[in-house]
Amino acid sequence: MKGWTGRILRVDLSKGKACVWEYDGSLALNFIGGRGFIIKILWDELKPATDPLSPENIMILAAGPLTGLPAVSSGKLVIGFKSPLTYGYGDGNVGTLAAVNLRKAGYDAVVIKGKANRPSYLYIGKNVELIRADELWGLTTFKVERELKKRYGGRAGILCIGPAGENLVKYATVISQEGRSGGRPGAGAVMGSKNLKAIVIEGEGEVNVADERKLREAAIEGFLKLKRSPKYAFWLRQGTMATISWSQKACVLPTTNFKEGMFEMAEKISGEVMESMVVLKRGCPNCNMPCGNVVKDYEGGLAELDYENVAMLGANIGLGDLSKIATLNRMADEYGLDTISLGNVIGFAMEASEKGLIEEEIEWGDFNAAKELIEEITFRKGLGSLLAEGTREASRRIGGGSERWAMNVKGLEISAYDCHAAPAMALAYSTSPIGAHHKDAWIIAWEISVGREKYDISKVKKLIELQRIRGGIFESLVVCRLPWIELNLSLEWYLRMFNNATGLRFTIQDMYSVADRIYSLIRAFWIREYKGAWDRAMDHPPARWFEEPLTKGPLKGAKLKREGFETMLSYYYKERGWDQRGIPKRNTLEKLGLKQVAEELSNYITLN
Ligand code: PTT
Ligand code: SF4
């Protein structure tokens, strides 16, 4: 097998044992890598209804056939698991040296089961070892990584969790390189539940590719294309932070718990303000368009800013001071909390306080209160213990109609685009395979360009195309998608790299078929987990966007139309070959080569 190492490492933490699985080529051909490998393994090996925080849950780190190759932005890794936040499929994508080293160590993926009997870290290199780590337990992610770098040197790739993961906060993530975060739906909590504080990966080898010369030629071409892009210089200056001004102008910047799409202090938190504060640039490995902008925060620490972090910990909680937002961002990185869910739960708490549903008085934009909440959430104290469960569960417990403005889909909090006037983006959140996240389809810019008021079929077709590319191709090749989105590196280039690496002759259509297989299998996984509780309502955005119009700005009065949304959702199901409950039809599964899946799924729910 060329392009893949053909080897997956299996680790049983309970037994302290590891072995190598030399997998069948059909896994690679049918699922490519990354998310594809993860869902196939979870479907085959995870017992339905497993408690996500029990030793039986499976956590998988998966690279893809382009990961670690001399391809632009190839230092990415997908982390997948059953989510403790959503109880469905969860994954996230993190930029880390651990990704490159994993492939150099001779593995495409690591499957982790069981629970270590003491706090430990996993070392993967020439050998595989589970090492006791009592002295690391309780440390922040920055401190753990620095300590492990002292032991293994700067070329070791490290993934770790902070106190939030140890305390099983449901949206704790895995952190790498002091500012790269992955696994929004609770990867950090799953690691914490396994007593696994960190994973250290070293590797020296090279991945065997089919056509080394052609691969290098294409790699250099890609590298130069990015450098010569007219957008390159601006991207290097602002990275994802340029989106703040764009979102404000488009009235989609989530403000005060998604009540509004415009923030009166947006100018104070913009990419331009950030530019004046930057002290350091960072990036993922193998990246020649690094977008990590590091600033000095209000308390003198260093924080890496991104659009999502600033929108959610700024506008969404009413805070208009970028250095203070940077402090909250750094705390999230150090404790190992997802900034998107965090900005949502803090906004939710502020609104609950405003409405008198909780005793605590928490004002919009109160920096000190936000800091206190982050501490309480991380260590599960007071109100923090409730908020550590995420907005879906918190709203169930406090009641008072709060589920209407608990801003999540399937339990995963919504990322930073308000959808009062963006039906296709609302549908993207509703049908995302991990719950509300923009990763699989950031359709909003295109939607605004073609007319945001329209509820039509062309939008659904575009949504599926984006899901195939972003959620299918990029999450299974496992490289960063930003060169394609931001600097227009073509999809054909990625395909050439893939074919040169593997010796195959895949077309975009072949890739789309794999993407559809992955999507339907992820959907089957959700349904197997939810069984009788699954219905179409699972694919709906929160009621707020339908019921409470925007009260400010040029789109004042705008809200989503239920009928239009339902029409688009129905069409989405039809296009995917799913029935009107959102369940893949038997013949769809069969056409995708998932006959066995159809057989098993029919034990849980009636298939059409
Ligand atoms: C991703 C989500 C995002 S998406 C952001 S900012 W973004 C938030 N970043 C966080 C952070 O930082 N610290 C923290 N404690 N929590 C955070 N939560 C949020 O997590 C990220 C980049 C970005 S920046 C994006 S869009 C792209 N995402 C990619 C993707 O998903 N797939 C892919 N093939 N390429 C991608 N490239 C870009 O990577 P999740 P990273 Mg992330 C400080 O993890 O769970 O997928 O959630 O990976 O290495 O930090 O790079 O405006
Ligand atoms: Fe990482 Fe940004 Fe480079 Fe993508 S563009 S690989 S997210 S540094």
Place of tokens 């399937």: 410
**193 and 98 housed in the same domain:** yes
How many angstroms does the Cα of residue 374 sit away from the middle of ligand 2? 27
Tokens 């339990």 sit at which residue? 411
Residue 367 included in any domain: yes
Residues 554 and 486 in one domain: yes
- Residue 578 tokens, joined: 């799913």
Q: In what order do the strands lie in the sheet with 302-305?
A: 278-282, 292-296, 302-305
φ/ψ bin of 6: left (φ > 0), alpha (ψ from -120 to 50), beta (otherwise): left
Ligand 1 atom 4 nearest Cα? 308
Query: By percentage, how much of the chain surpasses pLDDT 90?
Result: 99
Pairwise CA distance, residues 343 & 394, whole Å: 14
Same domain, 456 and 557: yes
Q: Are 61 and 110 in contact, with CB atoms under 8 Å apart?
A: yes
pLDDT at 532 over 90: no
DSSP state of 54: S
The answer to whether residues 44 and 15 belong to one domain is yes
**Residue minimizing CA distance to atom 6 of ligand 2:** 73
CA–CA separation, 49 and 66 (whole Å): 33
Instruction: Show the ligand 1 pocket: residues with CB < 6 angstroms.
Output: 76, 92-95, 173, 179-184, 240, 284, 304, 306-309, 332-333, 337-340, 439, 474-475, 480-482
Closest ligand 1 atom to 91 CA: 45
pLDDT in tens, 545-581: 999 999 999 999 999 999 999 999 999 999 999 999 9
pLDDT at residue 475, rounded to an integer = 98
pLDDT in tens, 170-189: 999 999 999 999 999 999 99
The CATH number for 257's domain is: 1.10.569.10
Exposed/middle/buried for residue 228 (C-beta within 10 Å: 0-12, 13-18, 19+):
exposed
Written as one string, the DSSP assignment of 103-140 is: HHTT-SEEEEES--SSSEEEEESSSEEEEE-TTTTT--
Please check whether residues 64 and 138 belong to one and the same domain. Answer: yes
Average pLDDT of the residues in 333-347: 98
Assess whether 453 and 519 both reside in one domain: yes
- Give 31-72 pLDDT, tens digit per residue: 999 999 999 999 999 999 999 999 999 999 999 999 999 989
Question: Within a domain: residue 210?
Answer: no
Res. 1: pLDDT tops 90: no
Question: Could you give the number of structural domains in the chain?
Answer: 3
Same domain, 19 and 159: yes
On whether both 453 and 479 belong to a single domain, the answer is: yes
Burial grade of 379 (CB within 10 A; 0-12, 13-18, 19 or more): middle
386 and 470 assigned to the same domain: no
Within a domain: residue 232?
A: no
Residue 409 and residue 449 in one domain: no
By the 10 Å C-beta count (0-12 exposed, 13-18 middle, 19+ buried), 245 is classed as middle
Asked if residue 227 is part of any domain, the answer here is no
- Burial (CB < 10 A; 0-12, 13-18, 19+), residue 148, is buried
User: Which residue's CA lies nearest to atom 15 of ligand 1?
Assistant: 333
Task: Tell me which of 363, 395, 416 is where a domain ends.
Answer: 416
Mean pLDDT of 253-281: 98
Query: Ligand 2 atom closest to Cα of 240?
Result: 2
Ligand nearest to the CA of 96: 1
Residue 496: inside a domain: yes
User: Same domain for 194 and 144?
Assistant: yes
Q: Which residue of 181, 342, 469, 491 sits with most ligand 1 atoms within 8 Å of its CB, as the best mutation to test the pocket? A: 181
Q: Which residue range forms the structural domain that includes residue 469?
A: 428-601
Average pLDDT of the chain is: 98
Whether the per-residue pLDDT at 103 is higher than 90: the answer is yes
- Same domain? For 439 and 575 the reply is yes
State the average pLDDT over residues 207-235.
Answer: 97
Measured in whole angstroms, how far is the alpha carbon of residue 608 from the centre of its chain?
A: 31
Backbone angles phi, psi at 523, to 5 degrees: -65, -45
CATH number at residue 188: 3.60.9.10
Instruction: Check residue 543 and give its pLDDT.
Output: 98
The CATH number for 436's domain is: 1.10.599.10
